């Protein structure tokens, strides 16, 4: 794996507003990389500094080993799919896709027409060339934007919230298609999204951003299982937080967790540097379970009372109160055969395991 894009100490100010704070980042060739964060966290600004649509106030952006300072967007080996798709409304589909080829004097008309047709075929829009672009649906516009950017064979394709304007079904379909397309063309994709699920599904690596900083940079599994801060844990998926008291830090870490008692976890479960004293223990809803009648377990059990039931069809989410904890525990249960949906107020047993805990300062 070779580094394609390197950012060193990148800062961006808008007047007094500090939009990007000391961003250091390396993105590899052929990688599907995501910038994930809540709105206003600077992820789009970061993407635009890579595209050259935004100058950096301070720091270095390198693409393919070249310093991009002073290189404007039209001269960078990047192409972008805009959030609004930015399809030129006065041009046909084929004219839109061919727009970037205008400067290519080495190609004749037939070559260009062939390239346009190939690009449209790649995104599943064969034969749409003559259509007027304002007559396209949202999904089709997105495909045209993809074809228009990919026809130039950029080193990097930048995608700014490309799926946010689509409905849920279409979005899920396009997620799979984008992954397939990225593997097919082998180009580095950088995706900006606020949808944590989308980032988890699509990315090789994800940078989670908050207030202009990268909070955590990791592969999806690490990000989900070992978030390195409470805000990352809150942003990615659901997590129950329990008060915890760190008793001893060593090869293993001894913690007294509210409601669960004293446990010993290994160092991997503590991604942040811990000190003795107050901390929080995080546990994902699906790593807890309710022990239904007739089921057995060798794991630890704790008594609880069902406080809330949310039925999703394939899953049921229970809020279960346990002694010594203010917030009820959120527990996700698959609705397997023979499992009833419990009523509020049912006395039950919660199955838990210290291996699923994450201890955060």
Partner 1 sequence: MSLRIYAIAYLVFLYAPIVLLPIFAFNDATIIAFPLSGFTTDWFGELMTNRSLHTAVKNSLFIAVMTAVLSTLLGICAARAGAMYHFPVKAGIMGFIMLPLVLPEIIVAVSLLVVVVQIFDMGLSNWTIIAAHVLICTPFCIAILNGAFQNLDPSLEEAAMDLGESRFSAFRLVTLPLVMPGIISSMLIAFTISLDEFIIAFFLSGTSQTMPVYIWGLMRFPASLPVVMALGTIMVALSIILLTIAELLRRRGMARAGVKDKGGFL
- If binding is defined by CB under 8 A, does position 82 make contact with partner 1? yes
Per-residue binder mask for partner 1 (CB under 8 A), 259-278, x = binder: --------------------
Binding window for partner 1 (CB under 8 A); candidates: 145-153, 277-285, 303-311, 317-325: 145-153
Total residues binding partner 1 (CB under 8 A): 25
**Minimal distance, residue 90 CB to partner 1, in Å:** 5
**Minimal distance, residue 157 CB to partner 1, in Å:** 11
**Minimal distance, residue 31 CB to partner 1, in Å:** 21
- If binding is defined by CB under 8 A, does position 102 make contact with partner 1? yes
Q: Which is nearer to partner 1, 155 or 231 (CB)?
A: 155
Q: Which is nearer to partner 1, 41 or 80 (CB)?
A: 80
Judge contact between 17 and 40, C-beta under 8 A: no
Alpha carbons within 13 A on the beta-carbon side of 121: 6
Scan residues 150-209 and list those touching partner 1 (CB under 8 A): 152
Eight-class DSSP state of 49? H
**Minimal distance, residue 151 CB to partner 1, in Å:** 9
Rounded to whole angstroms, the Cα distance separating 85 from 54 reads: 18
- DSSP secondary structure string, 233-282? HHHSS--EEEEEEEEEESSEEEEEETTTEEEEEEGGG--S---SEEEEEE
CA distances to 213, 224, 238, 308 from 287, rounded to whole Å, are: 30, 12, 11, 18
Count of beta carbons in the 10 Å neighbourhood of residue 113: 15
- If binding is defined by CB under 8 A, does position 311 make contact with partner 1? no
Q: CA nearest 84: which of 142, 131, 124? A: 142
CA distances to 125, 208, 232, 248, 288 from 354, rounded to whole Å, are: 51, 26, 20, 16, 10
- If binding is defined by CB under 8 A, does position 99 make contact with partner 1? yes
Judge contact between 192 and 160, C-beta under 8 A: yes
86 Cβ contact partners less than 8 Å away, ≥ 6 residues apart: 145
User: Out of 2, 39, 74, 296, which residue is the one contacting partner 1 (CB under 8 A)?
Assistant: 74
Scan residues 32-71 and list those touching partner 1 (CB under 8 A): 51-53
Q: Which is nearer to partner 1, 148 or 226 (CB)?
A: 148
Q: Which is nearer to partner 1, 15 or 294 (CB)?
A: 15
Judge contact between 208 and 216, C-beta under 8 A: yes
User: Out of 84, 137, 248, 266, which residue is the one contacting partner 1 (CB under 8 A)?
Assistant: 84
Residues near partner 1 (CB under 8 A) are 51-53, 72-75, 78-80, 82-84, 86, 88-90, 99-100, 102-103, 134, 148-149, 152
């Amino acid at each position: 794996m070779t580094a394609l894009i390197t950012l060193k100490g990148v800062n961006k100010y808008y007047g007094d507003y500090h939009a990007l704070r000391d961003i250091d980042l390396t993105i590899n060739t052929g990688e599907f990389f995501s910038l994930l964060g809540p709105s206003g966290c600077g992820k789009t600004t970061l993407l635009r500094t890579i595209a050259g649509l935004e100058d950096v106030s301070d720091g270095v952006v390198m693409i393919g080993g070249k310093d991009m300072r002073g290189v404007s967007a039209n001269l960078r080996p990047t192409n972008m799919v805009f959030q609004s798709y930015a399809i030129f409304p006065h041009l046909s589909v084929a004219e839109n896709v061919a727009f970037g080829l205008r400067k290519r004097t080495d190609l004749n008309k037939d070559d260009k027409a062939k390239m346009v047709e190939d690009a449209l075929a790649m995104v599943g829009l064969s034969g749409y060339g003559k259509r007027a672009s304002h007559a396209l649906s949202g999904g089709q516009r997105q495909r045209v934007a993809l074809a228009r950017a990919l026809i130039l064979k950029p080193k990097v394709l930048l995608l700014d919230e490309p799926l946010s304007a689509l409905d849920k079904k279409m979005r899920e379909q396009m997620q799979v298609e984008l992954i397939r397309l990225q593997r097919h063309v082998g180009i580095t994709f950088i995706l900006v999204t606020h949808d944590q699920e989308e980032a988890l599904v699509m990315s090789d690596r994800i940078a989670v951003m908050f207030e202009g900083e990268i909070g955590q940079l990791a592969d999806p599994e690490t990000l989900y299982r070992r978030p390195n801060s409470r805000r990352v844990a809150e942003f990615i998926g659901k997590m129950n937080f329990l008060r915890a008291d760190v008793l001893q830090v060593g090869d293993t870490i001894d913690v007294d967790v509210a409601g669960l008692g004293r446990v010993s976890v290994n160092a991997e479960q503590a991604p942040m540097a811990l000190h003795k004293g107050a901390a929080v223990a995080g546990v994902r809803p699906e790593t807890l379970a309710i022990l239904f009648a007739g089921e057995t377990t060798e794991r630890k059990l704790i008594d609880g009372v069902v406080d809330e039931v949310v039925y999703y069809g394939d899953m049921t989410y229970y809020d279960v109160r346990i002694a010594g904890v203010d917030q009820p525990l959120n527990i996700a249960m698959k609705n397997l055969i023979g499992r009833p949906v419990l009523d509020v107020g049912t006395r039950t047993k919660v199955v838990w395991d210290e291996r699923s805990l994450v201890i955060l300062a």
